[in-house]
């Protein structure tokens, strides 16, 4: 059964659509992009944030500007004597870089240099909304500031964003392609999100079209163009996809779709870890560090753009 809030939003959208489907579509898009509260949802999340403090304290705060806004990143230098890859780390929707502290610690222990982004409307970054074009622009800002990355690791929305940035889906932003990519519990395309939201909100066809049309206005590309699996299959760069078949937020079908995209995509099942615990699991972190080290032979990986 729909919540009271959703029922109110449905009625509001229906009322606006009776006057202007275009205005209703824009209104739906604003609601769709609204980011959740940054406060911990429960005591478990509060404990994770507390445990992350000593790890995050090792970083330097960096402000990155892009067209339309700015974001905060945390820069972790390599440990003395290390020669590991430079890694861009991106969290998921409703999360923040602090929740990836265990992974950051594991990457640093493996010799990597890590830059962890907080998306607009998340963590230490300003705002209360987030779009995929904004995420791609934030990745571009990080790329320009740090002069590229050898690897990109993204959870959920963060994984899809890294793939879309590699595919140059925002028309005025160049492709940002690291030598290796790791996607954890990530959606393989964006259409299902838009269609699912439209179904929940009961959007009429004209309103749905206007809602999806906002993506093209912001990026120069239709929502169907934000197809991460197709992008990664065409790039032919090594990709590790990690997913749990019990993930209740992003169906395991997305992982299977990635796996079918090309021989460059390796699928690793981390069953039993769901959508969120997966990013902190030691066995997952070990698999990622092993993947980043494969074929390196002590030399830095080559990145494009």
79-137: pLDDT as tens digits: 999 999 999 999 999 999 999 999 999 999 999 999 999 999 999 999 999 999 999 99
* CATH 3.40.190.10 corresponds to the domain 51-190+226-293: no
The DSSP letter of residue 156 is T
Q: Residue 295: its pLDDT value, please?
A: 76
| Secondary structure tally for the chain: helices H, strands E | 11, 8
Q: Looking at the DSSP assignment, which residues form a beta bridge with residue 58?
A: none
| pLDDT mean across residues, the chain | 95
Which of these, 16, 24, 8, 18, lies nearest to 207 by C-alpha position? 24
Tokens standing for residue 102: 């265990």
Is a pLDDT exceeding 70 seen at residue 44? yes
User: What residues contact residue 31 under an 8 Å CB cut-off, 6+ apart?
Assistant: 9, 201
CA distance 281 to 156: 15
Is a pLDDT exceeding 50 seen at residue 299? no
Torsion of CA 4, 10, 14, 15, to 10 degrees: 40
First to last CA, the chain: 48
Q: Looking at the DSSP assignment, which residues form a beta bridge with residue 268?
A: 242
Tokens standing for residue 107: 């990457």
142: phi then psi, degrees, rounded to nearest 5: -65, -40
93: phi then psi, degrees, rounded to nearest 5: -60, 135
Q: Residue 280: its pLDDT value, please?
A: 98
Which of these, 191, 210, 223, lies nearest to 29 by C-alpha position? 210
Is a pLDDT exceeding 80 seen at residue 302? no
Contact 219, 169 (CB under 8 A): yes
């Amino acid at each position: 059964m729909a919540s009271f809030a959703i029922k109110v939003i449905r009625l509001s959208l229906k009322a606006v659509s009776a006057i202007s489907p275009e205005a209703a579509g824009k209104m739906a898009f604003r609601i769709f992009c609204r980011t959740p509260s940054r406060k911990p949802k429960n005591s478990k999340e509060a404990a994770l944030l507390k445990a992350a403090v000593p790890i995050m304290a090792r970083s330097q705060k960096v402000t990155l500007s892009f067209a339309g806004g700015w974001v905060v990143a945390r820069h972790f230098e390599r440990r003395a004597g290390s020669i590991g890859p430079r890694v861009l780390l991106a969290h998921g929707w409703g999360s923040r870089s602090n929740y990836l502290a265990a992974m950051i610690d594991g990457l640093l222990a493996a010799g990597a240099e890590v830059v962890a982004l907080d998306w607009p409307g998340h963590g230490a970054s300003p705002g209360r909304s987030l779009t995929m074009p904004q995420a791609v622009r934030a990745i571009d800002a990080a790329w320009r500031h740090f002069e590229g990355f050898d690897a990109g690791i993204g959870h959920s929305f963060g994984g899809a964003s890294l793939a879309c940035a590699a595919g140059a889906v925002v028309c005025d932003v160049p492709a940002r392609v690291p030598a290796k990519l790791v996607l954890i519990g990530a959606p393989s395309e964006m259409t299902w999100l838009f269609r699912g939201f439209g179904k929940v909100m009961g959007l009429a066809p004209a309103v749905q079209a206007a809602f999806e049309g906002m993506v093209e206005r912001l990026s120069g590309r239709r929502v169907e163009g934000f197809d991460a699996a197709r992008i990664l299959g065409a790039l032919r760069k090594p990709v590790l996809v990690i997913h749990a078949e019990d993930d209740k937020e992003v169906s395991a079908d997305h992982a299977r779709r990635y796996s079918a995209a090309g021989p460059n995509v390796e699928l690793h099942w981390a069953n039993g870890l769901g959508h969120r615990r997966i990013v902190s699991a030691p066995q997952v972190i070990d698999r990622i560090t092993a993947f980043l080290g494969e074929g390196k032979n002590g030399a830095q990986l080559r990145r494009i753009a």
